[in-house]
Amino acid sequence: MSFTLAIVGRPNVGKSTLFNRLVGKRLALVDDQPGVTRDLREGAARLGDLRFTVIDTAGLEEATDDTLQGRMRKLTERAVDMADVCVFMIDARVGVTPVDEAVADILRKRGRNVIVAANKSEGRAADGGVIEAYSLGLGEPIRLSAEHGEGLNDLYAQLLPLS
């Protein structure tokens, strides 16, 4: 059975980097500059023998009348409602921020399967942020480095029972 995975989280945590890694083509723009990608992006993902649809929550930084929080909430809710499982990504080098807490609230209310991914976890600088990620109360975080392709085995292990 195939499933749909949504990658959610505040801007700049590495969502599009993971999306690109799973899809294997540069369908989603990755950029340090805000305002480059837009809305929701869908791709055909592979991870080991798993095949699934992945949705990248892009477009969070588009200039609109909405506040970033308002826009993020709407886009995140849309992505979550399309998904069977969500990867909720935080930046382990920064730790849990109030914006991350707002995303966690959406996930709790919508009651989907959630995998917490503490990204940018290569190296020791991330240890504190990974531990903080437990405080989100959404399960044991996986240590991920989307950029370096580390931790994908743990992502696979959490996805396997859902496939």
Residues forming the site for Mg ion (CB under 5 A): 15-16, 37, 58
Q: Please tell me whether residue 13 binds ligand GDP under the rule CB under 6 A.
A: yes
Q: Can you tell me which of 147, 154, 162, 163 binds ligand GDP, judged by CB under 6 A?
A: 147
Residue 11 annotated as binding? yes
As a whole number of angstroms, the distance between CA 105 and CA 64 comes to 23
Which of residues 58 and 75 has its CB atom nearest to Mg ion in the complex? 58
Output the furthest CA–CA distance in the chain (Å, rounded). 43
Q: How many residues bind ligand GDP (CB under 6 A)?
A: 18
Q: What angle do CA 56, 100, 98 make, to 5 degrees?
A: 150
* Residue 59 CA: distances (Å) to CA of 38, 53, 54: 3, 19, 16
Q: Can you tell me which of 17, 79, 86, 88 binds ligand GDP, judged by CB under 6 A?
A: 17
**Which x/- pattern over 82-121 shows residues binding ligand GDP (rule: CB under 6 A)?**
-------------------------------------xx-
- Please report how close the Cβ of residue 1 comes to ligand GDP at its closest, in angstroms: 28
Among 50, 49, 53, 47, which Cα is nearest to 6's? 53
User: By three-state DSSP, how is residue 20 classified?
Assistant: helix
Among 84, 97, 138, 94, which Cα is nearest to 116's? 138
- Please report how close the Cβ of residue 118 comes to ligand GDP at its closest, in angstroms: 10
Which of residues 119 and 158 has its CB atom nearest to ligand GDP in the complex? 119
User: Which sign, positive or negative, has the C-alpha torsion 22, 50, 48, 92?
Assistant: positive
Which of residues 78 and 163 has its CB atom nearest to ligand GDP in the complex? 78
Using CB under 6 A as the criterion, which residues of the chain lie in contact with ligand GDP when the complex forms?
9, 11-17, 30-32, 119-120, 122, 145-148
